[in-house]
Every structure is written in structure tokens, then in C-alpha cells.
Amino acid sequence: MPATVLPRLFITGTDTHVGKTYVAAGLVRAARAAGLDCVGFKPICCGDRDDADLLHAASDSALPLNEVNPVWFRAPAAPYAASMIENRQPDLALIEETFHRLCARHQSVIVEGAGGWRVPITRELAFSDLAARWNLPVLVVAANRLGALNHTLLTIESIQRAGLSSLAVILNESSPPDPETAPATATNAAILESLLQVPVFALGYNAPLTESAFAHWLLKNSAPAVPEG
């Protein structure tokens, strides 16, 4: 299948600091290196704006930073908590408008959530609801460490319960290998492959995603996803 069918997709994590932005930016770079008009989209940043800066750079500055990241809370907390701390609501209409504008202008849009799958944006809305509203296949990034099995299985279960497609799981070594947890990190991928009906890819510590098996697999085997609503 040709690379031109790289879909719009949603990248979530099993937790914060598992490497979502590393994977998202790497995937945007891989797509652009393959000749695709692909950009990154981080609807909400909390705390610093480093994630958006990395996606902006990966997109070759093809769009303004405020389109890569339309809503920014300075408080380093989940969006729902940050909105209460700063006494202002996230501009959901701006997020929606920006996403559809990017989809109209660019061949592929890689959307990155914040934290994990069910992180709340408001009392009524979580990042999982954005993925469902836009009908996006979901890529799960998990840190390849002790505890990854439970976190990953629960996340995939929730995605599938929402009626969405689980595109793949990336086990990312987000920190240097730890000899004490080596048995877990060495077996996580094989165990998840045996328990899940989705592809599982292991990404070594500081391994460039542009050269990974996952990037090549996605560019060759993905199908387009058309957002709804």
C-alpha cells in the first residue's frame, strides 16, 4: 500500500513522560522524509510548551506554533486542573476549528494528547472524547518498564470499548536500561503481542523513530481515517 495513505491519527500514552512527543515528532519527520505533507497537532499544552515546539520543528515550521498548539495553560497539571488553577476554560471551539483547518490544508495530521487516554480536559470531556469525535485510529505509547503490561492492556481495552481502532502499541525505552527491571523490559513486547490483537513495536533507548520498524510499517500499511463531526 503506498505511503500516501498515511492516516490522521491520535497518539496517546499509558501515562505522562512515556515518550508521546518523541514518537509523534519522529513520525511527522518520517512522513515528511517520505514526501508526505504531514504536520503535528498538540491541542493542549500544560506547563511549558516544549512538546509543541518539538512538533513545530518536526513539521518544518509548515504552520504557526499557535496552530500546532492552540490552547496553552501555564500550570503544569492536567488540563481540567490547570483550567481551575488559572480560572479559565479551554477554548474547545478553537481546538475544533484548528483541527479541521489543518485537515483541510495538510495531507496528514498527527494529533498528540496530554498524559494518558482518559486525562480530563473539562468535567465532561477527556482526550479520549476528542479522538472519538474525530474518529481517529489510536497509537498507544507505553514506557517499556515494569508495570507496562497492566497500563497498556487497560488503555487498549478502553480504546476498543469506545469503538475506536487501536492502530499499534509502541513500547518506548524512555530511560536508560535498568538491570533490576531487565526481565520485564525484555519480555513486555512478546507478552503484549500474545495478549493483544494489535501490532506491538519496541523502540530502544534514544533510537531514532524515523529508522524504526514501526515507521516503515505505518507508512506502508496504514489506511486513511476521515474525521467525523
The answer to whether residue 229 sits within a structural domain is no
Beta bridge partner(s), residue 109: 39
| Cβ atoms of residues 41 and 109 within 8 Å | yes
Write the DSSP symbol of residue 109: E
Domain assignment present for residue 112? The answer is yes
Q: Which residue range forms the structural domain that includes residue 147?
A: 3-221
DSSP letters spanning 37-82:
-EEEE-SEEES--HHHHHHHHHTTT-S-HHHH--EEESSSS-HHHH
* Closest listed residue to residue 166, CA positions, set 124, 144, 123, 195: 195
Contact 135, 52 (CB under 8 A): no
Question: For residue 113, what is the DSSP state?
Answer: E
First to last CA, the chain: 28
CA atoms within 13 A on the CB side of 31: 29
Would 191 be classed as within a structural domain? yes
Residue 189 lies in a domain: yes
User: Strand, coil or helix: what is 161?
Assistant: helix
Residue 104 lies in a domain: yes
Distance CA 208, CA 202 (A): 12
CB 224 within 8 A of CB 193: no
In a domain, 227, yes or no: no
Q: How many domains does the chain have?
A: 1
Spatial neighbors of 132 by CB under 8 A, at least 6 apart, are 162, 163, 164
Closest CA relative to residue 102, chosen from 41, 145, 185: 41
Q: How far apart are CA 222 and CA 101, in angstroms?
A: 22
Q: Which of 202, 179, 201, 224 is nearest to 36 (CA)?
A: 224
Query: Under the phi-then-psi rule, with left for phi > 0, alpha for psi from -120 to 50, and beta for the rest, what region is 113?
Result: beta
Residue 186 lies in a domain: yes
Which residues are identified as catalytic? 42
CATH classification of the domain holding 54: 3.40.50.300
* pTM of the predicted structure, to 2 decimals: 0.89
59 is a domain residue:
yes
Tens digit of pLDDT at every position of the chain (229 positions): 333 446 689 999 999 899 999 999 988 988 888 888 999 999 999 999 999 999 999 999 889 999 999 999 999 999 999 999 999 999 999 999 999 999 999 989 999 999 999 999 999 999 999 999 999 999 999 999 999 999 999 999 999 999 999 999 999 987 777 788 788 889 999 999 999 999 999 888 777 776 567 777 777 765 444 444 4
